[in-house]
Amino acid sequence: MNDMTRPDALDPPYLYPGYKSSVLRSPREPLLELPPGTLDVPGPTVPRGFVRNGDNDLTGHGKSAPLGEKMVLTGRLLDADGRPIRRSLVEIWQANASGRYAHPGDQHDAPLDPNFLGKGRTLTDDEGRYRFVTVKPGAYPWRNHPYAWRPQHIHFSLFGNAPVQRLITQMYFPGDPLLAIDPIYNSVPDGEARPRMVCTLSLETGIEEVALGYTFDIVLGGAKATPLGI
Ligand SMILES: [Fe+2]
């Protein structure tokens, strides 16, 4: 990808004790230094046909509409200088409106929705824009600590131009009281950077009488960079 100069204290450390699973998975040894470019080989590019029409509409796969608050999520993928990242694969995954993932690993006591799988993909356009139609995910309990619940969130994957460029982050919703106590959100060291993971309500980018609009730009570098690795 383009300029990836990122400020200090922007991305969470590998080890953040308040986020319990980071204790087990974080490296115990110093990371190996590789010569620049060793793994950053281009390709494979996204094959033609990999992103199909409708893959950006998470509400259209079932026999009827999924339960929940329908929303349109739009935004731009930008480099440090505000230039668009064009024709780049953006993938999302999320829980359904009840806070349950359509995944065998999620067995908590909330209903699955047969009309919602919770995954979508799209390519950015020439202005770096993406657009998804989905439902607002529910909060869900997790076993990080007693009474722990994750704030409502959507996971993002940005594929880049080479496999080792893949980036991930999480997007949150404005006004969520769970943000203040969420270890993952708060693992971003710079408190001023955390709100850059929160989308903005934008009614006019929704669909009138159908879907709420939210916007979320992802900035890969510079002073306004979005926290990544979350
Ligand atoms: Fe999640």
Residue 106 clears pLDDT 90, i.e. is over it: yes
* Residue scoring higher pLDDT (46 or 2): 46
What burial class does residue 143 get, using C-beta atoms within 10 Å of its C-beta: 0-12 exposed, 13-18 middle, 19+ buried? exposed
Task: List, for residues 189-230, the tens digit of each pLDDT value.
Answer: 999 999 999 999 999 999 999 999 999 999 999 999 999 999
Residue 3 clears pLDDT 70, i.e. is over it: no
Residue 153 CA, ligand 1 centroid: distance in Å: 6
Residue 217 CA, ligand 1 centroid: distance in Å: 19
d(CA 229, CA 215): 20
Nearest residue to 86 (alpha-carbon basis) of 36, 133, 46: 46
Nearest residue to 185 (alpha-carbon basis) of 194, 177, 176: 194
- Is 90 in contact with 124 (CB distance < 8 Å)? yes
* pLDDT band, very low/low/confident/very high, at 4 (cuts 50, 70, 90): low
Residue 221 CA, ligand 1 centroid: distance in Å: 24
